[in-house]
Each structure stands twice: as structure tokens, then as C-alpha cells.
């Protein structure tokens, strides 16, 4: 780990960005250009103290998960992200691997979505980034690790928690849709990929999954209209729009409701809840956690 190179690299990137570049308001009068350390920490869902220690050359070696979060927060290109990993003492991740890196262009789109649930998912339905309303609706994905981050996995392995966000009458449809999506990812990623590993894992653990997998349904889709359930706000009918990256490895998912409708009002309440969770961002040094709503379900878009 090259502490000097890491610190200099982070400082220069932070200074080159403005709040508008990352979807933040201008805030109070600034003495220096660029983002504040606490703003980077907020965007990366880590404590300000942890991030500050990295810039001051005295922090512990960051994990690859933390580096991916910092690369997203500072809107790094793929080459810049690879350099970040190397000066932090890690090998650069494979360019086509499913991991936490999100292209800056896709992040800029998400930055502009403040008033409706939106998130970026991997091909295996792992939430990579969520805005405030999405965390308020689905729960904070940062609390999960490993396969538990995949909503396909949690749907079949943790059904009571994962399915709570949808009406019971829609469960069968959503289950089939998730398996069809995994089949499509398997077809793209190949038999030695994480998609294959996930399918083998679920086939051995869930009879329901095995039956659906054997049906050979293949479809990379998100329903245009769905009903989601919040424990306090209740049922919300939303329209679902999906923006896929060119290689289909990630998708920006946005939930909206018709203007001035009752459901639009419920989404406004979610936006308020999401803003509260951002203001209360966690103090856990380096944990990647964020204070947010109660964990009433796993993330299951």
C-alpha cells in the first residue's frame, strides 16, 4: 500500500469535483474548491473520520469494497479506479467482473434523481448504488454481503424477508421473472461465471427455484407496472423504467407514479424518509453502513 500516492490521488480527485458534479446542492460558502471530505464520505456511505484518515496517510488498508465505494463517490473512470486499487495494495479487478464499480455517466444520471426511488443493479440483481427513496422503500443494501446482496438469491433463500415488499398475489410472477433474468445473465456471462455459480447454489438449496429453472424461461426484463408495499405508507403502484448499460452488465432502475396521483404523494413521503436517512449517515468508521429506516426487508427490486 502506497499511502502517499493514495492520499494524493484522493485529494486531487476530490478537489476536481463540484457538488453539482455529484448531485449535491451547493451548501454553505466554500473556502476551497472541490468537494468536502464529509461529502465524499456521505457519497461513499462511510464515516468522515475513516475517509479523512486515508487522505492523511494514517488509515488502515481499505478493503476492495471500500475502494469501489470511493471510486463511485469520486466518479472515477475505469483506468482511475484500477490505479486506486493498485496504490491501495490490491490487484485491479477484472474489467468484466461483476463488482461495485459503476461508470461515471450512469452515476450522473442517478445523481439527478432525488424525488423517486432509483438504484443501479448488477446483472445478478445486486444493488450497487441506491438513492434515498430507494433505501427508504427497500432497505439499505450496504448491510448485506456475499450472495445476500443479490435479490435473486434472497428471494429464494430468505423468502419471508425478501418478499415482504410485494403483495402475496404477485409473488409467483416475481419469482419466475427473477429466474428468467438469471437465465439471461447466464447466457451472457457463460458457464464459468458468477451467474452459473449462483444458479448452482440456488438449484441445490431451493426446490422452488429448481422447478422454475427447469422451465427454461429466459427474459431480461423489469415489469413496466408493479405494486410495492411499505410497512408505514402501504401499497404504492409504480411504473418501472430500466436503463441498461451497453453491455447489459448493469441497469438503472427508476420507479415513478403519475403526477398529482395518490401514489405520487406516497413517493414524496418516501423521498422525505430517504432525505432523513442521508442526513443521519452513519458514524461507523470504515464500515460502509448508513443509518436509515428499520430493516423490514432485504432489498428486492
3-state secondary structure the chain: CCHHHHHHHHHHHHHHCCHHHHCCCCCCCCCCCCCCHHHHHHHCCCCHHHHHHHHCCCCCCCCHHHHHHHHHHCCCCHHHHHHHHHHCCCCCCCCCCCCCCCCHHHHHHHHCCCCCCEEEEECCCCEEEECHHHHHHHCCHHHCCHHHHCHHHHHHHCHHHHHHHCCHHHHHHHHHHHHHHHHHHHHHHCCCCHHHHHHHHHHHHCHHHHHHHHCCCCCCCCCCEEEEEECCCEEEEEEEEEEECCCCCEEEEEEECCCCCHHHHHHHHHHHHHHHHHHCCCCCCCCCCCCCCCCCCCCCC
Mean pLDDT over all residues of the chain? 84
State the pLDDT confidence band at 92, using cuts at 50, 70 and 90.
confident
Q: What pLDDT score does 164 carry?
A: 93
Q: Find the mean pLDDT for residues 200-212.
A: 96
Q: What pLDDT score does 112 carry?
A: 87
Q: What pLDDT score does 291 carry?
A: 32
Q: What pLDDT score does 246 carry?
A: 77
pLDDT tens for 264-296 read: 999 999 888 766 654 444 434 343 333 333 333
State the pLDDT confidence band at 180, using cuts at 50, 70 and 90.
very high
Decide if pLDDT at 12 tops 60. Answer: yes
Decide if pLDDT at 69 tops 60. Answer: yes
Amino acid at each position: 500500500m502506497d499511502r502517499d500516492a493514495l492520499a494524493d490521488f484522493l485529494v486531487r480527485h476530490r478537489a476536481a469535483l463540484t457538488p453539482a458534479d455529484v448531485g449535491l446542492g451547493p451548501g454553505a460558502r466554500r473556502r476551497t474548491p472541490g468537494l468536502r471530505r464529509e461529502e465524499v464520505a456521505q457519497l461513499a456511505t462511510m464515516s468522515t473520520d475513516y475517509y479523512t484518515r486515508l487522505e492523511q496517510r494514517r488509515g488502515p488498508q481499505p478493503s476492495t469494497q471500500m475502494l469501489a465505494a470511493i471510486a463511485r463517490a469520486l466518479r472515477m473512470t475505469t483506468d482511475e479506479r484500477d490505479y486506486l486499487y493498485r496504490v491501495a495494495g490490491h490487484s485491479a479487478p477484472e474489467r468484466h467482473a461483476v463488482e461495485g464499480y459503476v461508470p461515471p455517466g450512469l452515476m450522473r444520471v442517478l445523481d439527478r434523481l432525488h424525488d423517486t426511488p432509483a438504484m443501479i443493479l448488477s446483472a445478478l440483481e445486486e444493488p450497487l448504488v441506491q438513492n434515498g427513496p430507494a433505501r427508504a422503500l427497500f432497505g439499505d443494501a450496504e448491510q448485506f454481503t456475499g450472495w445476500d446482496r443479490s435479490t435473486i438469491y434472497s428471494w429464494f433463500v430468505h423468502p419471508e424477508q425478501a418478499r415482504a415488499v410485494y403483495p402475496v398475489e404477485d409473488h409467483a410472477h416475481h419469482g419466475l421473472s427473477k429466474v428468467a433474468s438469471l437465465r439471461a445473465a447466464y447466457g451472457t456471462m457463460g458457464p464459468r461465471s458468477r451467474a452459473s455459480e449462483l444458479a448452482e447454489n440456488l438449484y441445490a438449496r431451493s426446490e422452488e427455484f429448481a422447478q422454475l429453472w427447469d422451465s427454461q424461461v429466459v427474459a431480461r426484463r423489469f415489469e413496466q407496472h408493479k405494486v410495492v408495499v411499505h410497512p408505514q405508507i402501504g401499497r404504492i403502484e409504480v411504473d418501472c423504467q430500466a436503463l441498461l448499460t451497453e453491455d447489459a452488465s448493469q441497469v438503472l432502475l427508476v420507479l415513478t407514479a403519475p403526477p398529482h396521483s395518490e401514489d405520487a404523494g406516497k413517493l414524496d413521503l418516501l423521498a422525505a424518509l430517504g432525505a432523513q436517512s442521508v442526513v443521519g449517515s452513519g458514524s461507523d468508521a470504515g464500515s460502509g453502513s448508513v443509518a436509515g429506516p428499520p430493516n423490514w426487508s432485504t432489498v428486492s427490486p
